Amino acid sequence: MARAAEHRALYSSVPLPTANPLTRKLLHFAPLSGADKLLLDELADPEERFPANVDIVAEGMVPRSVFLLKEGMAMRYRNMPDGRRQIMTFLIPGDLCDMHVFLLKEMDHSIGTITPVRVAPISRESLMGLFGSRPRISAALWWSSMQEEAMLRERIVSLGRRDARGRIAYMLCELLWRHTAVGLTDGEVFRLPLTQTELADTLGLTPVHVNRVLKDFRQQGLIAINQRILSLLKVEALQALAGFNKGYLHLGGASAEVRRYFDSLEDAQRGNDRSAGT
């Protein structure tokens, strides 16, 4: 009981707001200490900039680091031999591209910018060091990876079983909740710098079909779009149209049992550190 109270005091004393989008995202998956947050801020401090419509890393390249997206929007995609493009997912601030990249001899897809972006390169040594010394960050990163896999599964469901209206409604709802998780919404309003072609390349539709559905959504009062600012006016109606349940995004984080397990790992780490210092 005292141990639980101690942990509640430790983490409730740390303010939630933070400028680091990675920290804002990971806080949904695991409670982080002040020291954890400072370490994540150090990782996010280096910066590289890329203009819109260029590759951060291209298919076939040997990856040199993991990139944390700090600002802007990017995408994972593959170009087909006939010139068509399939976008797998969109990357927003707080996303890592890719956490497991060091396991690859070469990239099997490309990561390209949609808008100008700011990214922080994170070295293999820095990332691997987290898994050995920071159980809570490790847990949050694993949970984040699970979210990415769940999003890809949901994309398969969408492409296989939703009609055009359902696919677009699902994508808009997913982007809303992902932006909300990192503090990039104002209610149900957020910046969406995507073209109809980019939405079409993601959802297996044509730009003409996307245009038709978006026009229909606007006429029904479901959405409003003005200068790339998207307002979801009837979120529940859009979610019902898509059969959307945000549970697959795992924003509730780990169970109490799993959190206690990582508490024990952290306690063991502290014990090892004290022993090494004596």
Q: What is the mean pLDDT of residues 125-138?
A: 83
**Structural contact between residues 31 and 259, judged by C-beta atoms closer than 8 angstroms:** yes
Tokens describing residue 159: 């492409």
Label residue 104 by pLDDT band (50, 70, 90): low
Q: Which residues pair with 91 in a beta bridge?
A: 74
- Percentage of the chain surpassing pLDDT 70? 89
DSSP string, 136-201: HHHHHHHHHHHHHHHHHHHHHHHHHH--HHHHHHHHHHHHHHHHHHTT--BTTEEE----HHHHHH
Tokens describing residue 186: 């104002």
- Among residues 152, 25, 39, 32, the alpha carbon closest in space to that of 96 is found at 25
User: Each residue of 147-191: pLDDT tens digit?
Assistant: 999 999 999 999 999 999 999 999 999 999 999 999 999 999 999
Lowest mean pLDDT among 40-44, 118-122, 138-142: 138-142
pLDDT of residue 4: 36
Q: Regarding predicted confidence, which is higher, 102 or 183?
A: 183
pLDDT of residue 10: 33
User: Each residue of 218-235: pLDDT tens digit?
Assistant: 999 999 999 999 999 999
Q: Which residues contact 147 (CB under 8 A, 6 or more apart)?
A: 29, 249, 250
Label residue 202 by pLDDT band (50, 70, 90): very high
CA angle 29, 32, 35 (to 5 degrees): 150
Q: Which residues contact 233 (CB under 8 A, 6 or more apart)?
A: 188, 221, 222, 223, 224
Tokens describing residue 75: 């995408």
One-letter amino acid at 192 equals: L
Label residue 142 by pLDDT band (50, 70, 90): confident
Q: Which residues pair with 66 in a beta bridge?
A: 122
pLDDT of residue 20: 93
pLDDT of residue 7: 36
The Cα–Cα gap between 50 and 59 comes to 17
Which residue in this structure is represented by tokens 């049992």? 257
Mean pLDDT, all residues of the chain:
87
Residue 214 has pLDDT above 70, yes or no: yes
Q: How far is CA 110 from CA 39, 75, 77, 89, 277, in A?
A: 29, 8, 5, 11, 45
- Rounded to 5 degrees, φ, ψ at 43 are -65, -35
Tokens describing residue 166: 């359902």
The Cα–Cα gap between 21 and 37 comes to 11
Label residue 132 by pLDDT band (50, 70, 90): confident
Q: What is the mean pLDDT of residues 269-277?
A: 72
Residue 136 has pLDDT above 80, yes or no: yes
Cα Rg, the chain, nearest whole Å: 20
Which domains are seen in the chain, by residue range? 162-244 (1.10.10.10)
Residue 261 has pLDDT above 80, yes or no: no
- Percentage of the chain surpassing pLDDT 90? 63
User: Each residue of 1-58: pLDDT tens digit?
Assistant: 333 333 333 333 333 457 899 999 999 888 888 999 999 999 999 999 999 999 999 9
- Rounded to 5 degrees, φ, ψ at 232 are -90, 105
